[in-house]
């Protein structure tokens, strides 16, 4: 049983609301790192969910990581998890250490979840950092939406909860969270945002920056969901087999047209679409001057995937590398 402290009540309320909305009566898995956020989430989930299985990923990137993982699994059992498993992974190098570790982690969690949704300990502070990163990179409203409460199978019940609250619950429970050295390493962009940029913004703007950024993400997500639904209708109207009708696309508002084109490209195998690439494909529809195709990433050995305009249609084809 959790103590009836303010932190415990806030965490339980957040998890209860998420479960009622997305997984009523279901067993859930929790991604447990041993840090304060995931420990607090695990304890609150045990109090609210039908059953909880803890999944502890050992990235093997630090000496003693196996011991930390084993201790986290032991705590999970102590707070009432039905099971606790340690998942060892091999971290590659593609995209840098952070991205490679994230890829390995999510793949392991997905393979081990046995059909259950996986709860992640991302908090309001993590959401604020995500929005700031997207803003700095100029990656558009889709990035500024931040993280979703639920993107099957990943659930984030704590997006309205401050990081300080998860730490307080751990203190209330007498738990000693693991402090990952990577979370204070200044070579990681997110760490510098957390330790330097956000505190400076809080000081300069008189506080309330993190909640304001999280509210912005929520508002943009609501707007974005509507635009995505309308773009899907446009995509269906423009579809002509595997191609898209130029005439139908050209008469659509730009916000819907580019969303529809983006969705079509990704479904066709495009990879890592940039704003520049998407605008170049859009120009095949709205600014046609006989230009050649646009490489959109993806492809097969010896080929690249290219978007082209042919006989009034937007098409995808594999072009041989020269």
pLDDT tens digits along 208-260? 999 999 999 999 999 999 999 999 999 999 999 999 999 999 999 999 999 99
Count of C-beta atoms within a 10 Å radius of residue 206 = 8
What's the average model confidence in pLDDT over 103-122?
95
pLDDT at 258: 95
Mean per-residue pLDDT of the chain: 92
Q: Who wins on pLDDT, 181 or 60?
A: 60
Structure pTM? 0.83
Given a cut of 80, whether residue 317 has pLDDT beyond it is: yes
Task: Check residue 263 and give its pLDDT.
Answer: 95
Delimiting residues of CATH 3.40.50.620 domain(s) in the chain: 6-209
CA–CA gap between residue 30 and residue 109 (Å, rounded): 9
Compute the average pLDDT of residues 103-115.
94
Distance CA 98, CA 213 (A): 23
* Paired residues of 84 in beta bridges: 54
pLDDT in tens, 182-200: 676 777 788 888 888 889 9
Q: What are phi and psi of 186, to 5 degrees?
A: -65, -10
The binding site comprises 33-38
pLDDT digits (tens, 9 = 90+) for 113-154: 999 999 999 999 999 999 988 887 776 777 788 999 999 999
Distance CA 30, CA 72 (A): 12
Is 145 or 49 the better-scoring residue by pLDDT?
A: 49
Q: What is the pLDDT of residue 42?
A: 98
For tokens 């091999």, the residue is 90
- Considering the domain 6-209, what is its CATH architecture? 3-Layer(aba) Sandwich (3.40)
Residues 264-291: what's their mean pLDDT? 92
Residues belonging to the binding site for ATP are 33-38
Q: What is the DSSP code (8-state) at residue 195?
A: I
Give the distance, in angstroms, between the CA of residue 310 and the centroid of all CA atoms in the same chain. Answer: 36
Angle, to 10 degrees, between the axis of helix 209-238 and the axis of helix 198-205? 110
What was the pLDDT predicted at 91? 83
What is the length of the chain? 322
CA nearest 15: which of 31, 1, 32, 28? 28
- Spatial separation of the C-alpha atoms in residues 32 and 84, rounded to whole Å: 9
């Amino acid at each position: 049983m959790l103590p009836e402290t303010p932190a415990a009540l806030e965490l339980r309320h957040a998890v209860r609301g998420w479960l009622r909305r997305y997984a009523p009566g279901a067993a859930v898995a929790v991604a447990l790192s041993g840090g304060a956020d995931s420990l607090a989430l695990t304890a609150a989930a045990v109090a609210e969910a039908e059953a909880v299985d803890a999944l502890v990923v050992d990235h093997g990137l630090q000496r003693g990581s196996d011991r930390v993982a084993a201790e986290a699994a032991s705590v999970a059992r102590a707070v009432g998890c039905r099971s606790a498993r340690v998942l060892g992974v091999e971290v590659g190098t593609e995209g840098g250490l952070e991205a490679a570790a994230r890829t390995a982690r999510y793949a392991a969690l997905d393979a081990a979840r046995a059909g259950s949704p996986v709860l992640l300990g991302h908090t309001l502070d993590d959401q604020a950092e995500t929005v700031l990163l997207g803003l700095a990179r100029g990656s558009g409203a889709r990035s500024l939406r931040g993280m979703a409460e639920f993107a099957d199978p990943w659930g984030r019940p704590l997006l309205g909860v401050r990081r300080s609250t998860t730490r307080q619950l751990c203190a209330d429970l007498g738990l000693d969270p693991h402090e990952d050295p990577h979370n204070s390493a200044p070579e990681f962009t997110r760490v510098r945002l957390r330790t330097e940029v956000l505190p400076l913004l809080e000081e300069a703007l008189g506080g309330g920056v993190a909640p304001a950024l999280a509210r912005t993400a929520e508002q943009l997500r609501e707007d974005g969901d509507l635009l995505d639904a309308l773009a899907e209708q446009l995509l269906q109207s423009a579809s002509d087999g595997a191609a898209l009708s130029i005439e139908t696309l050209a008469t659509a508002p730009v916000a819907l047209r580019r969303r529809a084109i983006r969705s079509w490209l990704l479904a066709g195998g495009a990879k890592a679409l940039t704003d520049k690439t998407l605008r170049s494909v859009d120009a095949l529809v709205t600014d046609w001057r006989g230009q050649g195709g646009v490489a959109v990433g993806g492809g097969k050995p010896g080929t690249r995937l290219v978007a082209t305009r042919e006989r009034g249609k937007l098409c995808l084809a594999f072009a041989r590398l020269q």
